Amino acid sequence: MLPAARLREIERELAKYPPEQRQSALPAALRIAQDEHGWLSAEVMEFVAGVIGVPPVRAHEVATFYSMFELAPVGRHKISVCTNISCMLRGSAGIVAHLEKKLKVKLGGTTADGKFTLREAECLAACAGAPMMQIDREYYENLTPERVDEVLEKL
Ligand code: FES
């Protein structure tokens, strides 16, 4: 279910906690599993729970609590456009409209080629760079349609 290198990553996370607190490594272990598979199926969550040594329901609880976990297949790159107040005042609606037109997908959707999933996000704490978007783990700020095009061309 996970290659040896990913299991070693999980072991490193487990080593940060005392044996009776192994479940504290669950968020990191699920993130590692998601990095490998792109999303967390019930089978993957059950496997991770087994590695940690907790009941599968514990992995499910963590995975459904944090929005960073995907419970269904998504595109290879996740684009999250902030539409909260600072970004809204500085034109996030235009950025969303540009992305929807360019990618031919509505918010919440995944492009036909499976490359991008487009989402709306609440404040991502980069208000000074509004409007902004996050793609995977990178932030892109002070966006214009032209800047969005430049970013996407490099992916
Ligand atoms: S409102 Fe968009 S990053 Fe804060």
- Over residues 23-58, the pLDDT tens digits come to 999 999 999 999 999 999 999 999 999 999 999 999
Preceding amide of 131 cis, omega within 30: yes
Please check whether residues 94 and 144 belong to one and the same domain.
yes
Q: What CATH number does the domain containing 131 carry? A: 3.40.30.10
Helix (H, G, I), strand (E, B) or coil at 13: helix
| pLDDT tens, position by position, 128-145 | 999 999 999 999 999 999
Handedness of CA 76, 1, 25, 6 (dihedral sign): negative
Task: Look up residue 50 and give its two tokens.
Answer: 């087994």
* CA 133–ligand 1 middle distance (angstroms): 9
User: Which ligand 1 atom sits nearest the alpha carbon of residue 87?
Assistant: 2
Quote the pLDDT of residue 135: 97
Quote the pLDDT of residue 19: 92
| pLDDT tens, position by position, 78-136 | 999 999 999 999 999 999 999 999 999 999 999 999 999 999 999 999 999 999 999 99
Residue 50 lies in a domain: yes
Please say if the pLDDT value at position 155 is more than 90: yes
* CA 131–ligand 1 middle distance (angstroms): 7
Please check whether residues 82 and 21 belong to one and the same domain.
no
* Strand-strand pairing, 77-82 and 133-135: antiparallel
Please check whether residues 59 and 114 belong to one and the same domain.
no
Quote the pLDDT of residue 107: 97
Quote the pLDDT of residue 91: 98
Query: Which residue, 52, 54, 47, is CA-closest to 28?
Result: 52
Please check whether residues 61 and 100 belong to one and the same domain.
no
Please say if the pLDDT value at position 67 is more than 90: no
pTM: 0.81
Residue 83 lies in a domain: yes
* CA 89–ligand 1 middle distance (angstroms): 10
Please check whether residues 130 and 95 belong to one and the same domain.
yes
For 59, the domain range is 4-65
Q: Is 126 in the pocket of ligand 1 (CB under 6 A)?
A: yes
Please check whether residues 82 and 148 belong to one and the same domain.
yes
Please check whether residues 82 and 147 belong to one and the same domain.
yes
Ligand 1 mutation pick, 80, 92, 119, 123, max ligand atoms within 8 A of CB: 123
Please check whether residues 22 and 51 belong to one and the same domain.
yes
**DSSP code for 142:** S
Residue 71 lies in a domain: no
Q: Is 84 in the pocket of ligand 1 (CB under 6 A)?
A: yes
Split into its structural domains, the chain has a count of 2
Quote the pLDDT of residue 3: 97
Residue 70 lies in a domain: no
Quote the pLDDT of residue 68: 87
